[in-house]
Amino acid sequence: MNVTVENNRVVKIEGVPSNLATPEGPCIKGLAYVERAHSPQRIIRPMRRGPDGQFRPMAWESAIELIASRLEEARARLGPQSVLYYSGSGTKGLLNAAGMAFWRLFGGCTTTYGDLCWPAGLEATRLTLGENTHNAPWDLANAKLIVLWGKNSAETNIHQMLHVDRALEAGAKLVVIDPRRTETAERADLLLQLRPGTDGALALGVGHLLVRDGHADRAFIDTHVLGFDDYAALVAEWTPERSAEVTGLRVEQINELAMLFATMAPVTVSPGFGMQRFTNSGQAMRAMLALLAITGNVGKPGAGWSYANLQTQVFSHVKDPTDFYPPETPDGIVRVSISTAKLGRNMLAQQDPPLAFAWVERGNPIPQNPETRVVVEAFRRLEFRVVVDEFMTDTAREADVVLPAKNFFEQTDVIGAYWHPYLQIRPKIVEPPPEVKPETEIYRELGRHLGIDEEKLAAALPGPSNESIEAWLTAKLEKFGITLDQLRRGPVLSPDFREVAFDDLRFATPSGRIELRSEEARTRWGLDELPTFREAEERPKRGGRFPLHMLTPNTKNRIHSQFGNLETIRRMAPEPYVAMHPADARSRNLSEGDRARIWNERGLLTLPVRFDYGLRPGCISVTNGFWLVEGGAVNVLSMGRETDMGYGAAFHDNAVEVSRA
């Protein structure tokens, strides 16, 4: 973004046309930073919760002293691993991720593995293609068939729609596969509203038709695909009738999708993150990927799998207990024992030592992680909690001390992305409010109070001046051959960038081929080597106690729990509601606007009903990100449960009932 600053205030935000992925500029959330940066709701000094539950300002000196003494006490009594360090997906950055360096100097800590967002899909992709990379975003314009599979790009990847539109103008067809008729679906030639959690069964049914009717690309398969014969035997059992029965689609719809795969090329499938929030979704995504592999739609312009792009994640890898801060590193001090998906339960279960202290930054786990009630309980059981944030979130409200966070205009950093291939600089352009310190400064002051060696601190974290930060970033960037000057001139393509992913048809899998059969699926995740289908663990049953499927997608006006507190956004999306098909509502004696109780054994939400004729009957939907204090935190209903691979969170394995409030 191009940002105009006047008198130390952000006054205008515009796009940067040289960024080919987002030439049209920021969405409403990006633009809302004009308000967000200077919002009167911002926390601008340390706050201490008193015995009456009210927060009052406290001086920095006392805040640091108090936190340091509580940390020292916990470390002396129970060991450093009694401290939980939790960081979420708020503002990323090379420097913003430096916190762990402090905790190592502290002597260690306990931290989380897995991720709320995308790991089942990442792992399914890695098992099949060897790595997570995709064609340049703008290459989508070359596709003749685009399948947005469980992805609502019109709201959650708005910039992608520009490239979808270009393809459609050039004659491409668009398929959307989603239980909801989303804004994205308005552009689609074919919308398949399948039963949630059954994408694997749809993909196998389509695979059946492609193989049966001779549409498999034998030449491509023979050289580049492993396990085709076994796959063919698997899909032989997935007649369109069986696939239709499981997915709740009609046989003709499955035929139609297969015909499109058979007759249109090149094909790009862009799967979403929402459909991989199930206990069977890693396997489902492998089955979906197989359709591209058997039709030779990999390694070509306009073709391929456009899930997530780790080309710019050159600085950090994806969290996983086996490759992220492995406990057997030389220091052996960081315990990676808490599943992000099961945060609350795992926090409560920790022993040797139990947890006493939590530090939360860049995340809001109380509304965003599964099973809110248990997460709240786990935080309340601790002896002391610190939250660093810009706003008084649900998680901050549970803290003993809340420290103000700088925003991204207030400290220089370098950032990557998870869709486009650019590395970018985010220069400091605004002085933070006088009592706001960036995390690096908070850590340095804490370090001094804890008696951590000055030299070690200085090596781990830059000093406060912009020069010191730039020197730190320059050193980190050196091994990638990138300079800050280059970044200052505009977005820079990642050194790993390739316009067409896998154009050399080399795959970093054990066999060097696209693996439809994966030994690692079995050895690492205990799953079938083939992408077989099994039902998600929690499945609503007609006539059962919890017959409705609860979906909690993202929405265009917020990023998860962020932005909803701003006036700009509230004008458009003021309050949470539950979307229901009128048939499901009326059979429960509910009309538009009535208040409904949405419940299961884990919790209860009470929300106004909105009719949505575009929703698959049997499904209800509440967008995630509303706050607990607004009565809209959807995760009071979800279960802390991992996906079948990758240690993701199976938010959408969620059966509920709705009744009149």
Ligand X SMILES: Nc1nc2c(c(=O)[nH]1)N[C@H]1C(S)=C(S)[C@@H](COP(=O)(O)OP(=O)(O)OC[C@H]3O[C@@H](n4cnc5c(=O)[nH]c(N)nc54)[C@H](O)[C@@H]3O)O[C@H]1N2
Residue ranges in contact with ligand X by CB under 6 A: 88-91, 96, 116-118, 149-152, 155-157, 177-180, 182, 196-197, 199, 272-275, 277, 361-365, 368, 388-391, 393, 405, 439, 551-556, 558-562, 624, 634-635, 638, 651-652
Q: Is 402 in the site for Mo ion (CB under 5 A)?
A: no
Cα gap 277→551, rounded to integer Å = 10
Pairing of strands 548-551, 619-621: parallel
Cα gap 346→335, rounded to integer Å = 13
237 phi/psi in degrees, rounded to 5: -80, -10
For the beta carbon of residue 552, count every other beta carbon within 10 angstroms. Answer: 20
Of 117, 290, 343, 579, which lies in the binding site for Mo ion, with binding defined by CB under 5 A?
117
* Of 172, 110, 167, 122, the residue nearest 350 (C-alpha): 110
Question: Of 116-124, 240-248, 296-304, 639-647, which segment contacts Mo ion by CB under 5 A?
Answer: 116-124
**Pick 340 or 509: Cβ nearer ligand X:** 340
Strand (E) or helix (H) holding 349: helix 343-349
For the beta carbon of residue 229, count every other beta carbon within 10 angstroms. Answer: 10
**Pick 139 or 178: Cβ nearer Mo ion:** 178
Tokens 């046989």 identify what position? 251
The CA-atom distances, in angstroms, between 319 and each of 93, 271, 347, 367, 645 are 15, 21, 18, 21, 13
Question: Of 111-119, 170-178, 389-397, 431-439, which segment contacts Mo ion by CB under 5 A?
Answer: 111-119
b/e string for 232-244 if b means 16 or more Cβ within 10 A?
bebbeebbbebbb
- Cβ distance 88 to 387 under 8 Å? no
- Name the minimum Å distance from CB 37 to ligand X: 12
**Pick 364 or 600: Cβ nearer ligand X:** 364
**Pick 90 or 108: Cβ nearer ligand X:** 90
The one of ligand X, Mo ion, none whose footprint includes residue 648, by CB under 5 to 8 A per kind, is none
**Pick 413 or 515: Cβ nearer ligand X:** 413
Residues between 533 and 562 that touch Mo ion (CB under 5 A): none
Cα gap 556→210, rounded to integer Å = 36
The one of ligand X, Mo ion, none whose footprint includes residue 565, by CB under 5 to 8 A per kind, is none
The one of ligand X, Mo ion, none whose footprint includes residue 90, by CB under 5 to 8 A per kind, is ligand X
- Name the minimum Å distance from CB 559 to ligand X: 4
The one of ligand X, Mo ion, none whose footprint includes residue 272, by CB under 5 to 8 A per kind, is ligand X
The one of Mo ion, ligand X, none whose footprint includes residue 197, by CB under 5 to 8 A per kind, is ligand X
- Cβ distance 307 to 123 under 8 Å? no
Q: Is the peptide bond before 266 cis (omega within 30 degrees of 0)?
A: yes
The one of Mo ion, ligand X, none whose footprint includes residue 282, by CB under 5 to 8 A per kind, is none
The one of Mo ion, ligand X, none whose footprint includes residue 561, by CB under 5 to 8 A per kind, is ligand X
**Pick 89 or 468: Cβ nearer Mo ion:** 89
**Pick 27 or 68: Cβ nearer ligand X:** 27
Query: Which segments of 436-541 does DSSP mark as H helices, in order?
Result: 439-449, 454-460, 466-478, 484-489, 519-525
Beta partners for residue 49, in sequence order: 55
- Name the minimum Å distance from CB 176 to ligand X: 9
**Pick 117 or 234: Cβ nearer Mo ion:** 117
* DSSP code of residue 450: T
For the beta carbon of residue 547, count every other beta carbon within 10 angstroms. Answer: 15
The one of ligand X, Mo ion, none whose footprint includes residue 556, by CB under 5 to 8 A per kind, is ligand X
- Name the minimum Å distance from CB 512 to ligand X: 30
- Name the minimum Å distance from CB 220 to ligand X: 26
Nearest residue relative to ligand X (C-beta): 274
Q: Contacts with Mo ion: how many residues (CB under 5 A)?
A: 1
The one of Mo ion, ligand X, none whose footprint includes residue 445, by CB under 5 to 8 A per kind, is none
**Pick 187 or 277: Cβ nearer Mo ion:** 277
- Cβ distance 114 to 648 under 8 Å? yes
- Name the minimum Å distance from CB 385 to Mo ion: 24
The one of Mo ion, ligand X, none whose footprint includes residue 196, by CB under 5 to 8 A per kind, is ligand X
**Pick 98 or 117: Cβ nearer Mo ion:** 117
- Name the minimum Å distance from CB 378 to Mo ion: 22
- Name the minimum Å distance from CB 417 to Mo ion: 13
- Cβ distance 649 to 370 under 8 Å? yes
**Pick 501 or 620: Cβ nearer ligand X:** 620
**Pick 232 or 461: Cβ nearer ligand X:** 461
State the burial class of residue 587 (Cβ atoms within 10 Å of its Cβ: 0-12, 13-18, 19+). exposed
Q: For residue 105, what are the contacts with CB-CB under 8 A and spacing of at least 6?
A: 447, 452, 453, 456, 457, 460
Cα gap 26→5, rounded to integer Å = 17
Q: Which two tokens stand for residue 578?
A: 């539950």
- Name the minimum Å distance from CB 221 to ligand X: 26
- Name the minimum Å distance from CB 92 to Mo ion: 11
- Name the minimum Å distance from CB 622 to Mo ion: 17
- Name the minimum Å distance from CB 104 to ligand X: 19
Distance spanning both ends of the chain, measured CA to CA: 45
- Cβ distance 131 to 504 under 8 Å? no
Three-state secondary structure readout of 243-272: HHHHHCCCHHHHHHHHHHHHHCCCEEEEEC
Binding site for Mo ion (CB under 5 A): 117
